Chains A and B, each alone.
Chain A
Amino acid sequence: MKKVLFFSMLFLSLFIVAACGGRTYELAMVTDVGDIDDESFNQGTWEGIVEYAEANNISHRYYQPQGESKEDYLDAIDLAVTRGAKVVVTPGFMFEEAIYEAQSRYPDVKFILLDGAPHAGDWVPSIASNTASIFYAEHESGFLAGYAAVMEGMTSLGFFGGVPVPPVVRFGVGFIAGAYYAANELGVELDFGPGNYEYRYSFAPDDTHRVRAAAWYARGVEVIFSAAGGVGSNVMAAAQAADAWMIGVDVDQGGLNDHVLTSAMKALGTSVQQVLDQYYAGNFPGGVSQTLTAAEDGVALPMESSRFTNFTQADYDAIHGLLADKTINVPAGYDDLVAFFTEHGLGDLPFEATDVLPAD
C-alpha cells in the first residue's frame, strides 16, 4: 500500500515537471512585491499586457519571484526566458540591478522596465539597446490629486506614503505642491504640515494603519492621500467609519469603496501597450529612458469615477492643460518644491527636507 502511494506520488511529480516543459509564452511579466491583483501597481501593468496580448493573440504569462532580492528576480527572469519570452516586463525600481545583468545575459530578449533604469548598483544608469526604461511623472499625478482636493473645498489634508522610495516621494512632493497651489488660487489657509505627512514603511494592510488614519480623521483631517499600496484599504476603512475621504493611488481605486474621492493614476497599462506596439512595429525604444508626464497622458485622475461635487471636468481639463504645456513645472524633489513655492508666491513651505525625504 505504501509502495503504491510512493510510486503514484513519484509519477505525479514527474508529470508536473514534464507538463511545465511544453508551452512557450512570448510576453512575460515578472511581478514586484505583491501579486497581479494588488489593485495597484502590478495589476495595472498586468491588465495592460493581457489586454494587448488578447487583442493581438499573443501568448502571455506572469512569473512571481520567490523573494525580493536581485537573485530572486533574476531567477524569475531566467525562467521567463527559458519559457520562450521575447519581451519581459518588470514593474518597479526594485528590478534595476536585476535588469542590468539580464540585459547583457539575454541580448535577444527585450526588457521593459517601469519606474526605473538599469544600473550596476551605483545608480549610474546603463541602458542597453534591448531595454526600454519608463518613468512616470508621479509628482504631476500627486499635484493633480492635491489640487483637485483643495479646489473641491477641503482644507485639512493628510498624506500616507508607503516606503519612501523615489516614486512615493514624488507623489508626496507633487501632492504638497498641488494643494498649496490651489490654496493660493482660492485664497484659503491649509492645515497640511509635517504632522499630517508620514511614511508608513509598509505596503501591506495592517490594523495599525487604520488606527493612525482614524486618529487623523478624528482631529479633523478631511482627506488622506494614500500612496502606499495595500495600506490604502485600511485608510478606506477608516474614511468610511469617519465619513471622510481618501485618495487612491496608481490605478483607479474608485470602485473599491464609496469613500475614495479620486485616484492619482499612472497610465501603467497604456504605456506598456505603447511600447509593445512599437516593438511589434520594429522600432523598440531601447537604450533610452523616457518619462511619461501629463503631456503624454502618462498621469491622470479618473474623472468618471471620482466623487467630486465642486471640482468639474472643465477645472480638471484646465489644470491638466497647464501641466501638459509646461506652464506649471511640478516639483519632483524637495529643492524644486522650495523653488516652486518661491516662484508662485505660495508663502513659507511648512515642510523640512527630512519630512519629505527621511534619512535612512
Chain B
Amino acid sequence: MIELMNQLNFAFPYIIRAMALLSVVALGALFSERSGVVNIALEGIMIMGAFAGAWTMIIVMNNFAIPRQWNAFIGLSVGAVTGLIFSLFHAFAAIHMKSNQIISATALNFFAPAFAIFTARAVTGDRALNVRLDYSIRNIPILSDIPILGPWFFTNAYLSTFIAVFIFIVAYIVLYKTPFGLRLRSCGENPHAADSLGVNIYKIRYAGVMISGALAGLGGVMFVLSFSTRFDGAVAGFGFLSLAVLISGQWKPIRLILIAFLFALFRVVSEIPDELIGIRNLNLPQEIWRMLPFIATLVILAITSKGSAAPRAVGEPFDAGKR
C-alpha cells in the first residue's frame, strides 16, 4: 500500500504536467474551431511560442536578478503574445482572404521550425536554446503537506500548471456564460444566422484564432519549462496531439479535460509499466503500452462519435452572399 502510494506520488505530477499542456493547447483550438476556423497550425504556433519564450527567459536570466518564477511568468507571457501574433497570419489568410484553412495552417507548421532554428542559429550560433534552470516549485508551504493532494498537485509543481487551471475556469465562463461566448459558438454553427442578427463574424473569428494562438504559444513555453528545459526547434508533436484531444473531447471543455487526462495518463504509464506495482507482473512488451493511448482514443471515438459535435460551419470561409 505504501509502495502504491509512492508510485502514485511519483507518477501524478508527470500526468498533471502533460495534461495541463494538452488541455491548454486544445482549449485554445476549441475557441478557434467553435468560431468556425480549423487551426491545425497549433504545432507551428507552439514552436514559435516556445522559441520566443525560451529566448526571453535566457536573456532575462542573464541580465536581471529576478526570482525564477517571475522569469517563468515573463517567458510564458512572451510565448503567449508571440503565439497570438503568429496566429494572425493564419487568421488573415483563413478569414480575410477566405483561403483554404488547412493549407495556410500547414504553411505555418512548415515555417515555424525553420524560422526558429534559423534565427536561433543566427543570434546564438546554436540551434538549441538552453534554459538550463529547473523551474519546478519543489514545495509550497502548507499546501504541500495536505495528504494525497499535496504530493500530487503541490510538490514538484510548475507555475504553468496553476496558470492552466486558471485559464480553464476563465475559458469555461467566457464560452458558456458571456454574450461573447454565445456569439463565438453561433459563428461556428451557423454564421449566416449570426450575421443576420448583427454579429460581426470576422471580428469573432479573428478573436477565436487569436485566443488559440495565445494559448498554443503559452503551451509551447510550458513544454520547454516542464519537459525539456531547452528549446530545440520542436515540441514533440504536442500540437497535433492536442488536436486529437480536442476532437476526441467533442469540442467541449469538460470532456476535453478528461481526454487530456487519459492521454497524459497513458503517456506516463506506458513509460513506466515495469515500475508500477500490479502492472509489472503482466509482463507485456513495452510496445503494447506505447500503443495504449492511441487504442484508447480509437475506442473512445468509436463510442462517442455517434453524437459527434463538430461545429457545423467549421472549415468554411464565411461568405455573406451565400445563404
List residues of chain A with CB within 8 A of the CB of B271: 208, 211-212, 215
| Extra 15 A-B pairs, beta carbons < 8 Å, given A37-B126, A218-B10, A241-B136 | A35-B117, A35-B127, A37-B127, A37-B128, A205-B228, A206-B236, A207-B228, A208-B271, A212-B271, A214-B10, A215-B10, A233-B232, A237-B134, A240-B134, A256-B132
- Which residue of A211, A215, A240 is within 8 Å of B229 (Cβ)? A240
List residues of chain A with CB within 8 A of the CB of B130: 256-257
A252 in contact (CB, < 8 A): no
The residues in B between 7 and 21 inclusive whose CB is less than 8 angstroms from any CB of A are 10, 14, 18
Total contacting residues, chain A, CB less than 8 A = 26
Q: Which residue of A lies closest to B230 (CB)?
A: A233
Q: B305: shortest Cβ distance to chain A, in Å?
A: 28
Q: In whole angstroms, what is the CA distance A35 to B128 when docked? A: 11
List residues of chain A with CB within 8 A of the CB of B10: 214-215, 218
Whether A237 contacts B18 by the Cβ 8 Å rule is: no
Whether A257 contacts B132 by the Cβ 8 Å rule is: yes
On whether A237 and B274 interact (CB within 8 A), knowing A39-B128, A205-B236, A206-B236, the answer reads no
Counting chain A CB atoms within 10 Å of each CB, which of B117, B230, B270 scores highest? B230
A210 in contact (CB, < 8 A): yes
- Which residue of A37, A214, A233 is within 8 Å of B228 (Cβ)? A233
Q: Which residue of A lies closest to B275 (CB)?
A: A215
Instruction: Say what secondary structure dominates the interface of chain A.
Output: helix
Interface string of A20-62 (1 = CB under 8 A from B): 0000000000000001010100000000000000000000000
15 A-B residue pairings within 8 Å (CB atoms):
A37-B121, A39-B126, A204-B234, A204-B236, A205-B228, A205-B236, A207-B227, A214-B14, A215-B10, A234-B228, A237-B227, A237-B229, A237-B230, A241-B134, A256-B130
Q: In whole angstroms, what is the CA distance A279 to B121 when docked? A: 31
A236 in contact (CB, < 8 A): yes
B99 in contact (CB, < 8 A): no
Interface residues of A (CB under 8 A from B): 35, 37, 39, 195, 204-208, 210-212, 214-215, 218-219, 230, 233-234, 236-237, 240-241, 256-258
Whether B232 contacts A230 by the Cβ 8 Å rule is: yes
Q: B89: shortest Cβ distance to chain A, in Å?
A: 18
Q: In whole angstroms, what is the CA distance A210 to B156 when docked? A: 14
B267 in contact (CB, < 8 A): yes
Whether B234 contacts A212 by the Cβ 8 Å rule is: no
Counting chain A CB atoms within 10 Å of each CB, which of B128, B227, B268 scores highest? B227
Whether B134 contacts A207 by the Cβ 8 Å rule is: no
Counting chain A CB atoms within 10 Å of each CB, which of B10, B18, B270 scores highest? B10
Whether B127 contacts A237 by the Cβ 8 Å rule is: no
Whether B121 contacts A210 by the Cβ 8 Å rule is: no
Q: In whole angstroms, what is the CA distance A303 to B203 when docked? A: 61
Q: In whole angstroms, what is the CA distance A237 to B127 when docked? A: 18
The residues in B between 31 and 87 inclusive whose CB is less than 8 angstroms from any CB of A are none
B272 in contact (CB, < 8 A): yes
Q: Which residue of B lies closest to A212 (CB)?
A: B271
List residues of chain B with CB within 8 A of the CB of A207: 18, 223, 227-228, 236, 267
- Which residue of A205, A236, A240 is within 8 Å of B232 (Cβ)? A205
List residues of chain A with CB within 8 A of the CB of B125: 37
Q: In whole angstroms, what is the CA distance A257 to B230 when docked? A: 10
On whether A208 and B228 interact (CB within 8 A), knowing A195-B274, A241-B156, A257-B132, the answer reads no
Whether A208 contacts B229 by the Cβ 8 Å rule is: no
List residues of chain B with CB within 8 A of the CB of A219: 275
Q: B169: shortest Cβ distance to chain A, in Å?
A: 25
On whether A237 and B270 interact (CB within 8 A), knowing A211-B14, A215-B10, A256-B130, the answer reads no
